[in-house]
Structure formats: structure tokens, C-alpha cells
Structure 1
Amino acid sequence: MAVFPLFQPVLKVNFMVTMWDTPDSNGGGLEGALSTVGSAVLSAATQFVLGGFKSVEGLDASNTLTTYHQGGQNDSELHFFDRASYARIVLQRGVTFNTDLWDWQHQVITGKRKTRKSGTIVLMDTRKLYEVPGLGASLPGMAFPVASWTFHNALPAKLAGPKLDATEGAGAGAVAIEALELHAEKIERVSLALIPGVADLNSVLSGLVGLAGGAALAGASAGATAIAGGF
């Protein structure tokens, strides 16, 4: 029986980033309730950014706690939740003809509407669920998604172009890299069941695992019966 990725840690090298315009996001705040994949798809004007990024950093959430010292209780202190804060998300990718990130930056600093973006970062297993003979590339659904994070109502905080150096030579280390830092109102790790299409796949895999487990238990039970009969 194959071991499916949801039962063990996976490598950090296979991931996908998707961003979309948050509908009615000019004001931020309460409009964050609209920043879902479903509402974005329903908006014909939504602009999607679908990326192959080199790296993603900043999927961090921090809690600010208030400390209270209760009178007469000198051997301990009480802590209460105050608010959550989130790190800047840093996305890095190689420079190509694609200018979508710079277009967003330009729209924010010059446009009347300060368009915010929400997004999803999906980490997938490097192993494939199936193989197609003779096909060198990967097809959608080949890799099983293991974890997903969403960020809401983000604005670009910094957009850095590549460091150009004619002495770097060739190779992976000489790739021109651009980096986007964005600040989101909220970062969450979400259930895979909330990602369109993944819930059905998860159900199928769970069913296969359940059937295999049931067969294994049945085999073990039959073996135990045979051994008991032998005695």
C-alpha cells in the first residue's frame, strides 16, 4: 500500500502561489470577508497572479499578550491575549517578461483604487499520485496538496529588482531574482477541504486508505483465526 503524503512530512520544494484582487478592497477592514476564492471567481474584473516562485517567507503569526500581576499573588503572573500581528510575506522569483507584480505596485501608488490582493500558498508532495508514460511534464492533480496558507487584503510593502553583476557568470546562482514584500491583514493555515477540488480528492484517498486498512485488518483477523484453530 502506498503511503500518502498527509501522513508524513514532505519536502519544502514543491509549492504554488495564487493571488487575486480582493473584491471591493479599496477600504480594507470589514471587506476582508469578501476575500475568498469563490467571491474572486465571481468577479469578472478579478486579476489573477499564478506563480512559480523561487521561495516564500513570512508565513508567521505572532500574538501580543498583556501581563497582569494580581495583588497578593507574587509567585506567578497572568497573561491575556491582546491582538495578533503578521509578518511581511516575501515572494522571490526569477525575472521574466511578466510584469504583473510591478503593474500591481504601479496601480497602488498611482491609481485611485488601492487594489488589495488575497492569496493562497499550497505546499504539495514531491511524489506523484500517478504517472503518464512518455510525458515529461506534470499535469494538474499529479501532486497531492498537503498544506495551504491564505493571506487576506495585502498591499505591496516593497518590490525589489535584481542585483545585476556582469561578473557572476552562468549557473543557478546567476539567475536574476526579483522580490515582493507584501503586508496582509491576516495569515491563516486553512483546511485542505476549503480548496476547490481537493476535498473530493481527499475523500477518495481516505477511502482508499480505509479500504486498504480494512483489508489488512481482515487479513490479520483471518491469520489469527487460523493460528487459533491450529492450537
Structure 2
Amino acid sequence: MASNAISARPFTTFNFVVLIDVDGVANGSTQVCAASFSECDGLEMTLEPKTIRAGGRNWGPVHLAGGVSYGQLALKRGMTTNLDLWKWFEKMVQNGQTGYRTSATVVIRASDQSDLAVFQLTGCLPVKLKAPALNAKDGLVAIEEMQIAYESLSLQGS
């Protein structure tokens, strides 16, 4: 049996941190995401293959690498102590600021809080921000969902 078959630090998906840097939104800091989310989805890259059928190559087509597209980061059921995410979204729609982009980092952590994987997102643009249903019984101070479009995704420190 191979010695690396069983990892001492498995990749679990329940312990993660989302960091978003936006200049001019948070007081005294560029880090705007002071929220904790219960779900983070959309770390994805898709390569679209270009298929060529060459004459005389009867055993199958040739697949070439085409363009890469990226998903949208969906952050769901977040708790926050400030309104910085709302301020970021408002900054995007004020006075023609629709071209303002920023960066974000998603860190997957081990049970000992060490970083297992760090994903860097660039060209981030908030595209959806949804408040939870207002219900006095629930006692939620939260963000129901936030979606962020991004231009590139890379794995750092691998």
C-alpha cells in the first residue's frame, strides 16, 4: 500500500474563510468581508474543447484547448457585524462605477486552522446581494445570498 494513500490532513469543506478586499469601503481597512457564511459555492473553471475532425484520421477527432470560463461565487446564509458588503454593492452602482473590480480569497482550513488550499479570485464584481426574510421569530442578522462574478481563479501555494 502506498504511504500517501491516506492523508493525515483530509480536505474537508466545512471550515473555510472568504476574504474580500475593497478600497474605500471598510473603515480603516481594505478587507470588507467581515461576514461568516454557511455555504460557499462556485469555485469552478470550465475549459471548452475545440473539436477538429482531420481527414484520414478515422479513429477519432482531435481535441484542442479552447477558452476558459469561470463560475460565479455564491455565498449563502452569512452573518455579519457591519454593512460593508452592502456598501461595496452600492459603490458599484453609483456614478458610473460599474467597472470597479477587486480581488477575493477563499481559504479552506484544516481542523488545526492551518491552510489546506487557498484560491485567489481576481476581477471580482458583486452581481447579487439578497437580504433574508424579515421575521421577528428567527432573530437573524444576516445576508441570505451574495453572488460574485470573477474573471480568473488560481490555486495559490501549491
Matched-pair contact (CA < 8 Å) for 1:148–1:189: yes
In 2, Cα distance between equivalents of 1:8 and 1:16: 17
Q: 3-state DSSP class of the match of 2:85? A: helix
In 2, Cα distance between equivalents of 1:95 and 1:7: 31
Q: 3-state DSSP class of the match of 1:54? A: strand
In 2, Cα distance between equivalents of 1:86 and 1:188: 11
| Structure 2 residues not aligned, in runs of 5+ | 1-6
2:51 is the counterpart of 1:67: yes
In 1, Cα distance between equivalents of 2:73 and 2:135: 26
Count of aligned positions:
146
Amino acid at match of 1:118: S
Deviation string 1:42-70 (CA, Å, 9 cap, x unpaired) is xxx97212442221100010001110000
Counterparts of residues 189-208 of structure 1 (less than 5 Å): 189-191=155-157
1:10 aligns with: 11
1:109 aligns with: 93
Share of identical aligned residues, percent? 29
The structure having more radius of gyration, on CA atoms, is: 1
Amino acid at match of 1:99: L
1:144 aligns with: 114
Q: Structure 1 residues 125 and 97 mapped into 2: Cα distance closer, same or farther (>3 Å)?
A: closer
Counterparts of residues 60-99 of structure 1 (less than 5 Å): 60-99=44-83
2:30 aligns with: 47
Aligned with residue 127 of structure 2, among 157, 173, 193: 157
Q: How high is the TM-score relative to the length of structure 2?
A: 0.79
Q: How high is the TM-score relative to the length of structure 1?
A: 0.56
| Structure 1 residues not aligned, in runs of 5+ | 1-5, 23-44, 129-142, 193-231
Q: Structure 1 residues 16 and 96 mapped into 2: Cα distance closer, same or farther (>3 Å)?
A: closer
In 1, Cα distance between equivalents of 2:51 and 2:38: 40
User: By percentage of residues, which structure has more strand?
Assistant: 2
User: By percentage of residues, which structure has more helix?
Assistant: 1
Q: Give the CA deviation at 1:7.
A: 4.1
Amino acid at match of 1:47: T
Q: Structure 1 residues 163 and 113 mapped into 2: Cα distance closer, same or farther (>3 Å)?
A: same
Q: 3-state DSSP class of the match of 2:91? A: helix
Q: Aligned-residue CA RMSD in angstroms?
A: 2.5
In 1, Cα distance between equivalents of 2:115 and 2:77: 21
Q: Give the CA deviation at 1:170.
A: 4.9
